[in-house]
Amino acid sequence: MTQTLTLTRPDDWHLHLRDGAMLKAVLPETARDFGRAIIMPNLVPPVVTGAQAAAYRDRILAALPEGMAFEPLMTLYLTEDTDPEDVAAAHASGLVKAVKLYPAGATTNSSSGVSNFDKVRPVLEKMAEIGLPLCTHGEVTDHDIDIFDREAVFIDRVLDPIRRATPGLRVVMEHITTKNAADYVASQEQDLGATITTHHLIINRNHILVGGIKPHYYCLPVAKREEHRLALRTAATSGDARYFLGTDSAPHVDAAKESGCGCAGCFTATNTIPLLAHVFEEDGKLENLEKFASQNGPAFYQLPENPGQITLVKSEAATQFPTKIASDDGPVTLFDPGYPIYWSVA
Ligand code: DOR
Ligand code: ZN
């Protein structure tokens, strides 16, 4: 018996597309199922100005295969030198949909991020005034804070103070990994949303470390204990408008992952939607998948939902996903949930 499920075409509210050969290889993997994505600006060098975002957008559109429709929603990388007027102009032109805050040193290509939050106050105030959302990589980088505690400490020490000091600033807590973050979102009445990745609904920290280290499960923020994964499942599948999909699909070639100092990032663009159907069905919440993947995000970003639809099919035979995506820089391993998936996108 096959089962089908038709959804408004989804969006990915947090995606890494990179540039050059990698962009060309991974873009079709997202464009196949998604209408739009919020594009992360952590290139080398980062996408800081409106002019850089416009040029990156053009490179993305040039890399899109003929016949595929996809709209990149551009972001600016917040630095201590970011000019509030440049941000406002990039927003007013419709080019930029969010500004990304990386604490300096938090993750891949974040060395230009923010150390002194007072220095970005004028930008944050301008963003509150014009209604431009701030996307946060919510981890402190202090060496004395345990890596598994960095998200919870960020909420108390950085995020909550910023939000109190900047009324009206709309914030997306990106790729939340803890019950603390899900609870913080639930406790706030306005101006706060959160993205949740596919992989954080599937793996906990044991998956990374038990039975041999699994570099393809390593990402930042790192997966936490099982109780946190379960809290994320509850939040994502609840239908609550404050939680929406941001895959954080982050391609690195195998040589960079399977290394003595492996890069952070899980590549999930290709199989995210089937994996989510599995997760939502397992939790008896298939009816809320469309909210999480296709409706809550546009509502937060004050954009229309995508006009098209996708249809998911559940078959008796397990779906055969590729294990790797080829790029001219080398192969990229696709996230493997570790169990068979029977859903696919028609
Ligand atoms: O795992 C991650 N990979 N987390 C990030 O914050 C950055 C991303 C990347 O760019 O590879
Ligand atoms: Zn990311």
Query: Cβ(322)–Cβ(336) under 8 Å?
Result: no
Q: CA 40, CA 37: separation in Å to the nearest integer?
A: 9
| Cis-peptide into 45, omega within 30 deg | yes
| Cis-peptide into 221, omega within 30 deg | yes
pLDDT tens by residue, the chain, 346 residues:
689 999 999 999 999 999 999 999 999 999 999 999 999 999 999 999 999 999 999 999 999 999 999 999 999 999 999 999 999 999 999 999 999 999 988 777 778 899 998 999 999 999 999 999 999 999 999 999 999 999 999 999 999 999 999 999 999 999 999 999 999 999 999 999 999 999 999 999 999 999 999 999 999 999 999 999 999 999 999 999 999 999 999 999 999 999 999 999 999 999 999 999 999 999 999 999 999 999 999 999 999 999 999 999 999 999 999 999 999 999 999 999 999 999 999 9
What distances in angstroms separate CA 220 from CA 22, 136, 146, 215, 256, one per listed residue? 20, 13, 13, 12, 15
Q: Would you state the structure tokens that stand for residue 138, as one six-digit string? A: 């919510």
Q: Which atom of ligand 1 is nearest to the CA of 40?
A: 10
Residue among 195, 200, 247, 263 whose CB has most ligand 1 atoms within 8 A, to mutate: 263
Lookup result for tokens 């016949």: 67
Backbone phi, psi, residue 170, to 5°: -90, 125
Q: Would you state the structure tokens that stand for residue 163, as one six-digit string? A: 């939000």
Query: Cβ(284)–Cβ(127) under 8 Å?
Result: no
Pairing of strands 11-15, 36-39: parallel
Distance 334 CA to ligand 1 centre (A): 15
The answer to whether 248 is a known catalytic residue is yes
Distance 27 CA to ligand 2 centre (A): 15
Domains and CATH numbers, the chain: 3-345 (3.20.20.140)
Q: CA 62, CA 112: separation in Å to the nearest integer?
A: 27
Query: Cβ(330)–Cβ(255) under 8 Å?
Result: yes
DSSP designation for 306: P
3-state secondary structure of 30: helix
Q: Which atom of ligand 1 is nearest to the CA of 109?
A: 10
CA dihedral 30, 203, 296, 282 (to 10 degrees): 100
The enclosing H or E element of 70 equals none
Q: Identify residue 114 by its one-letter amino acid code.
A: V
Query: Cβ(77)–Cβ(114) under 8 Å?
Result: no
